[in-house]
Amino acid sequence: MKVSVIGVGYVGIITAVSLAELGHNVLGMDDNKEKVKSFSKGISPIYEEGLEEALNKNIKEGTLSFTDSIEVAISHGEVIFICVGTPSLPGGKADLSFVERVAREIAKNAKEYKLIVEKSTVPVKTSEQILKTIKLYNKHGVELEVASNPEFLREGTALQDFFEADRIVIGVSSKKAENLFRELYKGIDSPIVVTDPNTAEIIKHASNSFLAMKISFINMVADLCENTGADINKVAEGMGFDKRIGKSFLNAGIGYGGSCFPKDVRAFNQIGKENGLDFSLLKDVDKINIERVERFISKLRKAHWVFKDKVFSLWGLAFKPGTDDIREAPALKVMEILLNEGAILRVYDPKAMENVKKIFPPTEKLYYAQDPYDAAKDSEAILLITEWDEFKSIDFSKIKDMILTNVLIDGRNLYSPKKMKEEGFIYYPVGKPPIEEI
Ligand code: UDX
């Protein structure tokens, strides 16, 4: 089947590469010419496990190509995926202007039937809005249909999440559209939930908001554990055996980041409000998450009541391991606070440093290290922010010879208090008793 993907960002490129992998003839489009040139050469500006190999394989097999012309993309695909951004406006509402612009272009250029698919996360009833736009601009009076097919891809495991999806959700208004989707996704044996577009749009926002709520819930309970000397990992273990709760997404830490959870929770809260409902539960989810960084910094203050001219080492900058993405990453907020208080930072991340440098260029007070040990040189506190595998196998006896004071604040409970005590560290975990004496 001929498919066009408009907007090759994190979601669009995974959609394009994966559908090409399934044997479809896919054309990816973006108005960022640099990005299109890079993808066309088989070089992905986005880091994602396995992406570049799949990109090159499909370009070579002729099932995947790229263009910066939206007209060419519209004429190519019988199915056109809209994968452009829906960033937050002030107050949390989703900015749908990019989605609307693409819908307008499709209506103006389409000369035969098109199935227009919302892949971007959009508020409920967006598909109805798109339909309105299409009817207004449908110059050639062709049959155009709008469907919702939300993605559930996690960064770092996106390709796996596509091919081993827990479920595929399609929001359609006709049997024809349903059959096209079934043909599109043939080869993926995940359950397909068929519903209407509005319901599909709600499934996406509700799923992300629920996952974010689960994280804020366990972080709220972690605060109680800190005040009562309990152990949040054991609480999560005791909860998780209950199949109705489940073990996943119960890792307490410095909070969720990324381009989805923060934005989707705020957007879903707005959607509730716009429909005359009280979704303030989601405001608390957001509030608890925002508090995580201050709580993390307050632990550092217990060890160092002055930050000025102190050397602190940050291990991990990406919002989670396995990606170079720093959008809404807790590390950025930590860096801002510490730099504002005059600290000297030595930071390291296996993948995300180039992205962080665009926001915090290197200075005499901000050094981008070669590796975790280089970051730890002359350190007066090590701050573990992203739980990359690389940090699991640190040789602390080597570290201890390089640092000035043995302080480690663990934002992801990567280390065990027992081990840190044996290594002779002042150690602050999340939701567990700290080690304050050495
Ligand atoms: C999320 C959803 O999982 C995915 O289905 C949706 O399509 C996009 O948003 P993503 O943001 O890429 O995916 O990563 P995810 O693995 O969900 O983690 C999101 C954030 O939550 C990260 O900052 C992570 O560190 C944090 N997290 C996750 C926790 O703090 N605790 C957990 O137990 C799990």
Task: Return the pLDDT at 121.
Answer: 86
247 and 181 in a common domain = no
Which domain-ending residue is among 149, 164, 195?
195
The answer, yes or no, to whether residue 27 has pLDDT greater than 90, is yes
Task: Return the pLDDT at 140.
Answer: 86
The answer, yes or no, to whether residue 120 has pLDDT greater than 80, is yes
414 CA from centroid of ligand 1 (Å): 17
The answer, yes or no, to whether residue 438 has pLDDT greater than 80, is no
Catalogue the active-site residues. Answer: 260
Arithmetic mean of pLDDT, 92-114 = 93
* pLDDT per residue as tens digits for the range 271-282: 999 999 999 999
41 CA from centroid of ligand 1 (Å): 30
In 7-96, alpha helices (H): 10-21, 33-40, 51-60, 70-76
What domain range is 39 assigned to?
2-195
Task: Return the pLDDT at 71.
Answer: 97
Pick from 171, 176, 169: nearest CA to 143: 176
Which domain-ending residue is among 195, 218, 240?
195
Asked whether residue 280 is domain-assigned, the answer is: yes
Arithmetic mean of pLDDT, 4-29 = 97
Task: Return the pLDDT at 231.
Answer: 98
Asked whether residue 305 is domain-assigned, the answer is: yes
Task: Return the pLDDT at 80.
Answer: 98
* Atom of ligand 1 minimally distant from the CA of 155: 12
Pick from 4, 30, 12, 20: nearest CA to 59: 20
Question: Does the beta carbon of 158 lie inside 6 Å of ligand 1?
Answer: no
In three-state secondary structure terms, 353 is helix
Task: Return the pLDDT at 158.
Answer: 94
To test the pocket of ligand 1, the residue of 247, 260, 289 to mutate (highest count of ligand atoms within 8 Å of its CB) is 260
237 CA from centroid of ligand 1 (Å): 19
Which domain-ending residue is among 260, 286, 312?
286
The answer, yes or no, to whether residue 24 has pLDDT greater than 80, is yes
Task: Return the pLDDT at 105.
Answer: 96
Asked whether residue 433 is domain-assigned, the answer is: no
Q: How confident is the model at residue 87 (pLDDT cuts 50, 70, 90)?
A: confident
CATH code for the domain in which residue 229 is found: 1.10.1040.10
Task: Return the pLDDT at 46.
Answer: 86
Asked whether residue 154 is domain-assigned, the answer is: yes
Residue closest by Cα to atom 33 of ligand 1: 249
160 and 16 in a common domain = yes
Question: Does the beta carbon of 10 lie inside 6 Å of ligand 1?
Answer: no
* Atom of ligand 1 minimally distant from the CA of 328: 23
Question: Does the beta carbon of 150 lie inside 6 Å of ligand 1?
Answer: no
Task: Return the pLDDT at 224.
Answer: 98
Q: How confident is the model at residue 91 (pLDDT cuts 50, 70, 90)?
A: confident
* Atom of ligand 1 minimally distant from the CA of 121: 7
176 and 121 in a common domain = yes
Question: Does the beta carbon of 225 lie inside 6 Å of ligand 1?
Answer: no
User: Dihedral sign, CA of 379, 416, 48, 168?
Assistant: negative
Number of domains within the chain: 3
Pick from 375, 328, 387: nearest CA to 355: 328
Question: Does the beta carbon of 357 lie inside 6 Å of ligand 1?
Answer: no
* pLDDT per residue as tens digits for the range 48-65: 889 999 999 999 999 999
Asked whether residue 93 is domain-assigned, the answer is: yes
Task: Return the pLDDT at 197.
Answer: 96
Task: Return the pLDDT at 148.
Answer: 97
Asked whether residue 436 is domain-assigned, the answer is: no
Look up the pTM and report it. 0.95
171 CA from centroid of ligand 1 (Å): 24
117 and 230 in a common domain = no
Pick from 185, 265, 178, 273: nearest CA to 217: 265
Arithmetic mean of pLDDT, 395-420 = 96
Task: Return the pLDDT at 36.
Answer: 97
State the SS3 of 310-336.
CEEEEECCCCCCCCCCCCCCHHHHHHH
Asked whether residue 132 is domain-assigned, the answer is: yes
The answer, yes or no, to whether residue 245 has pLDDT greater than 90, is yes
CA gap 167, 378 in Å, rounded: 49
Residue closest by Cα to atom 19 of ligand 1: 256
User: Dihedral sign, CA of 254, 259, 263, 268?
Assistant: negative
Task: Return the pLDDT at 164.
Answer: 97
Residue closest by Cα to atom 28 of ligand 1: 249
Residue closest by Cα to atom 9 of ligand 1: 260
* pLDDT per residue as tens digits for the range 313-359: 999 999 999 999 999 999 999 999 999 999 999 999 999 999 999 99
Q: What burial letters (b/e) apply to 180-215, b meaning 16+ CB within 10 Å?
A: bbeebbeeeeeeeebeebbebbbbbbebbbebbbbb
CATH code for the domain in which residue 293 is found: 3.40.50.720
401 CA from centroid of ligand 1 (Å): 36
88 and 164 in a common domain = yes
pLDDT, mean over the chain: 96
